[in-house]
Amino acid sequence: MGLEVDKVTEDWRKMHNEELYDLYSSPNIILVIKSRRTRWAGKVACVGEGKDAYRVAVGRPEGKRPLGRPRHRCDDDIKMNL
């Protein structure tokens, strides 16, 4: 929460979130994360099947799955972004 002096009444007032976003104009963090994740997936896809990064990103572990909800995988995030 930011504070500023009102130009008309010359009293301190609270700034709303939209005003702070406009004031600092920082990029949307969600869009930054999605773009970097997509860029990383493209680089991993280009290196090919012989590299460890590709096997980790695309590979499926062997063995029994644990009880409960399935884990969220990196591959799922990439598909959601596309």
pTM exceeds 0.85: no
Q: What is the pLDDT of residues 22-81, one digit of tens each?
A: 777 777 778 888 888 888 888 887 887 777 777 777 766 677 777 887 777 777 777 777
Q: What is the pLDDT of residues 4-23, one digit of tens each?
A: 776 767 788 887 888 877 77
List, in order, residues 6 or more apart from 5 with CB less than 8 Å away. Answer: 11, 12, 13
Structure confidence at residue 1 as a pLDDT band (50, 70, 90): low
Q: How many domains does the chain have?
A: 1
Task: Give the domain range for residue 47.
Answer: 2-61+68-81
Q: What is the C-alpha separation between 13 and 8, in angstroms, rounded?
A: 11
Which residue(s) pair with 12 in the sheet? Answer: 5
